Amino acid sequence: MGDKQSGAEQRPQGGALTMPPAPTVGVAEPANDPQSLRAMEAQLAPQAKEPAATADQARSTTDPPQSHSAPFAKQPPTPITELPTVRLEPAATDISQAPRMVDRSRAQTFGQALRILLQRRGLYVARTETYLLPQFHDRLKAVDGAGIQIASLREYLRGEMLPDEAKTRLIADALGAPRGLLLYVAGYLTPEDLAHYPGPQLTLATVEADIRELESLPLAPATKARIARDLRISARILCLLAPDRLGLNDGAPSGDFSTSPDEREQLIEQLIDLWTTPAPPIPSQSSADEGAQPTT
């Protein structure tokens, strides 16, 4: 991570960001309205605890029986190592105003959530409207040894810059907040992702096994494609939440990281609580941080 600004970490006013082509759902603005989140929670509640369709569940499909006289043409499943995580890339062509506004909205949404969480962790002084960024920098540095520059933290708070995925996870760890919470408010997780949020029985290994098994099932090609897509979305979420715990930073996946029981339901409850909490004010350009700035 380090103290240098990542190439994926972009200022909204300095150029818009676009998503590279990917078979999974793209970045969208998260639903920040508590009523929308409650409606989403009610819609997802009747679903099974394991939202992604598996090969076992596919056996009960209502697809018409298929003839077994001619075997299905088998296509090699996409390896989990090729599943793309959501990354932001600078646009190579002229950009309209609309993408800039979407990215600015994401940065401002993240800044609002970060101000609330800093206040909850005692890192905001209401009397002086001061954020204790040097102390927060120390917490970040204790997590990964490098931290994030204080100047960057100020820009996050003002909604002028959006952290990349790695820095978003680092901030969540330093605050003791769920990674999924901050990844959602930053727009790396989307409302559609919540329907495919992996349950505690789903790991990268089980996704690979289910995709392989799909090839041998007598299902219509469209049904196979839909189930495989759902599984890959769940796998992408796992990779987004914990690449370090899966060993993805070192090459081939290793480990069997899975989410905790009811993590999706807890995430929705935390989002509702977050967006019903008044946020402290945006720090001014001239505001000073209490305490001496640490050397980096």
pLDDT tens figures, 159-171: 999 999 999 999 9
For 126, residues 6+ apart whose C-beta sits below 8 A from its C-beta are 119, 280
Instruction: Select from 106, 19, 60, 12 the least CA-distant residue to 223.
Output: 60
> In this structure, what DSSP letter does residue 3 have?
S
- The answer to whether residues 117 and 175 touch, using CB atoms and an 8 Å cutoff, is yes
**What does the angle CA 100 – CA 102 – CA 108 come to, to the nearest 5 degrees?**
100
* Residue 94, burial from CB neighbour count under 10 angstroms (0-12, 13-18, 19+): exposed
Q: Give the pLDDT score at 90.
A: 32
Q: Give the pLDDT score at 39.
A: 80
The model's confidence at residue 290, banded by pLDDT at 50, 70 and 90, is low
> In this structure, what DSSP letter does residue 90 have?
E
Q: Give the pLDDT score at 252.
A: 67
- The answer to whether residues 246 and 255 touch, using CB atoms and an 8 Å cutoff, is yes
124-125 and 89-90 as β-strands: parallel, antiparallel, unpaired? Answer: unpaired
Using DSSP, state whether 125 is helix, strand or coil. Answer: strand
First to last CA, the chain: 13
The model's confidence at residue 99, banded by pLDDT at 50, 70 and 90, is low
Q: Give the pLDDT score at 67.
A: 40
- pLDDT above 80: residue 9: no
Whole-model pTM above 0.85?
no
CA distance 77 to 83: 11
CA distance 234 to 203: 9
